[in-house]
Structure 1
Amino acid sequence: MPPNLFLLLGAFLLLVTIPPGKAFKFLQHLEGSHKGKTVEGLGELKRYLEKFGYLNYGAQHDSKTKFSNHIHVNDEEFDELLESAVGAYQSNYHLNITGILDSETIQHMMLPRCGVPDVVNVTNSLSSTQIKQTKLFNMVAMYSFFPGRPRWPLSKTYLTYSFQSSAQVVGLQELRLVCSRAFRKWQNVSPFTFVEAPQGAVGDIVIGFHRGNHNDGAPFDGPGGVFAHSFAPTKGWFHYDADEDWSSNPNMSQIDLESVAVHEIGHVLGLGHSRDRNAIMYASLPTGTIKRNLSTDDIQGIRALYSGSTRKISYYFQCSA
């Protein structure tokens, strides 16, 4: 075998054999699971789907059915509500809607992702029949908002940001440069001006690295799972998971600081996740990926949310690529 070909083959094998992150590793043993099966790990899958907004046993009952719905909350049985939640997940990510944990679905679920839920307030889930017949959210615009559509007051378009971490991961100067570029992307297409707060002051938006339970009600899960999360306006919190491998010039096993910063700032401004794979606000980001430019869907979303603003929004077409 020619030396160059050997090196290329070795690099390929290294990439395809990288083990999944610890946080979502349980998913790889669930491939092929479907309604009626009892498999160890399905309880963790239920918690995964509940965390990201697809499953809520408590919201699915009335006085006549609450016992039948709650009986499977913590067990390892693949019940009808779990099938429905898997189907909803598949629909949201443009996967084949089967309600079965096929290989494609498992691989997507294992991708590193943002901790903000995709779907909120589950009131309607797909029935077994609908799973095979329905495509959810059949619309051109794929952006979304938080429940109740919270946003910053239209009178408050000047937002400051500051840094406060409980774990040291990257140097402050590097983080400042990364976030400055990320804020500029949104400033160019929104009514906002973003300025770093004076030293020692707490900004409207507070950015930092934290690990595990960091007293915001949303503990991180360690490497290979949720890489960051933010909160809806006007809380202004944006947290990186310090247990991930971060870089501003990532290799294939690292997560890009700036790509995640642009995404999380979108949440801080009030955008939810997008179903558009090309959008900054798409929930998952594979390691090694650099994705720093706003898509048309991102820009349309922020414009729709702040359509009542009187400030002119410039550079719409230049920044849409």
Structure 2
Amino acid sequence: CVCVCVVISIMLACMAVEYLQKFYNLPKKPSGRIRRSGPSFTSKVKDMQSFFGLNATGVLDSETLEVMRSPRCGVPDVEEYSNAQGTRWNKNIITYRYLLYTRDLPRSTVDFLLETAFRVWARASSLTFVRMHSHNADIMVEFVTSDHGDLYPFDGPRGTLAHAFGPGLGVGGDTHFDDDERWTTGKTGFNLHVVAAHEFGHALGLKHSRNPESLMYPTYKSSRGASLLASEDVANINTLYSKLL
């Protein structure tokens, strides 16, 4: 029994280290070994707890571990993600293109869900979204698995659901969904409309929010209002693109 408890404790600590390295920039030791103790680890746990409104003790309590195990967006909560977050497109007509589809839904359904996700932001702002069927677009959308060439591999079912890069050249704006997830139109599996609207927020330049009511909150919630956006989201997208009006 003692051995089992020790193994479980080590597994949870390793999970926490991986989480903090992904989302809170916990450094690895020069040797590449995982570090599960020390001031850096404790400080990053406190940062994570503070972000999610938990008691910032630096201890891996049950509430902290529950949040760490929750399915979520792959964009870090406190650090830059390849292209600078908080930047914007210097135009209000944004193009998008679908490259690879999920195996879970008919293509027509995926098209509808993604286009309604773009409309969430269009209705709240001065932005217009135009679909491209060839050539590069500002936002390239694809469903992929595992290591897919952008240095941010997916981790299989649950865990990281999707990620998107902020506006910019190259991968800027590109939005990737983990096709090891079960993508759906409802509350079972993961609702593609909800996740896509969140990720397109990143592709437009928005960061994660500490407000659980915000669409840009990092962890997945299937139950949201019809508009998806909180007043904070509407204010943030309009502040970001206000100078283009």
Q: TM-score, normalising length from structure 2? A: 0.86
Question: Residue 218 of structure 1: CA displacement?
Answer: 1.1
Residues 212/77 of structure 1: CA separation in 2 closer, same or farther (3 Å cut): closer
Pick one of 16, 26, 29 that aligns with 1:45: 16
- Name the residue aligned to 1:85: 44
Residues 77/238 of structure 1: CA separation in 2 closer, same or farther (3 Å cut): closer
Partner of 1:273, secondary structure, is coil
Give the stretch that moved more between structures: 300-309 or 72-81: 72-81
Pick one of 177, 187, 192 that aligns with 1:240: 177
- Name the residue aligned to 1:95: 54
Question: Residue 215 of structure 1: CA displacement?
Answer: 1.0
- Name the residue aligned to 2:149: 215
Task: Supply the distance in 2 between the matched residues of 1:166 and 1:177 (Cα, whole angstroms).
Answer: 13
Cα distance per residue 1:185-204 (max 9 Å; x no partner): 1112222101222x334432
Cα distance per residue 1:194-223 (max 9 Å; x no partner): 1222x3344321112111111122110000
- Name the residue aligned to 1:118: 77
User: What is the aligned-residue RMSD (CA, Å)?
Assistant: 2.3
Task: Supply the distance in 1 between the matched residues of 2:158 and 2:55 (Cα, whole angstroms).
Answer: 25
Percent of aligned positions that are identical? 35
- Name the residue aligned to 1:184: 119
Cα distance per residue 1:198-254 (max 9 Å; x no partner): x33443211121111111221100001100000010212111100011101232xx1
Q: Which amino acid aligns with 2:187?
A: P
Residue 65 (structure 2) pairs with residue 106 (structure 1): yes
In the comparison of the two structures, how many residue pairs are matched? 233
Pick one of 174, 178, 184 that aligns with 2:109: 174
Task: Supply the distance in 2 between the matched residues of 1:54 and 1:276 (Cα, whole angstroms).
Answer: 21
Residues 81/243 of structure 1: CA separation in 2 closer, same or farther (3 Å cut): same
Q: Is the contact between residue 167 and residue 211 of structure 1 (CA under 8 Å) also seen in structure 2?
A: no
Question: Residue 168 of structure 1: CA displacement?
Answer: 3.0
Question: Residue 147 of structure 1: CA displacement?
Answer: 4.3
Gap regions ≥5 residues in structure 1 = 1-27, 31-38, 58-69, 122-145, 311-321
Partner of 2:242, secondary structure, is coil
Question: Residue 283 of structure 1: CA displacement?
Answer: 0.4
Task: Supply the distance in 2 between the matched residues of 1:175 and 1:148 (Cα, whole angstroms).
Answer: 27
Task: Supply the distance in 2 between the matched residues of 1:303 and 1:160 (Cα, whole angstroms).
Answer: 19
Cα distance per residue 1:232-279 (max 9 Å; x no partner): 10212111100011101232xx11100001100100000010000000
Question: Residue 74 of structure 1: CA displacement?
Answer: 2.1
Q: Which amino acid aligns with 2:184?
A: S
Task: Supply the distance in 1 between the matched residues of 2:137 and 2:101 (Cα, whole angstroms).
Answer: 17
- Name the residue aligned to 1:158: 93
Partner of 2:163, secondary structure, is strand
Gap regions ≥5 residues in structure 2 = 1-6
Task: Supply the distance in 1 between the matched residues of 2:217 and 2:13 (Cα, whole angstroms).
Answer: 25
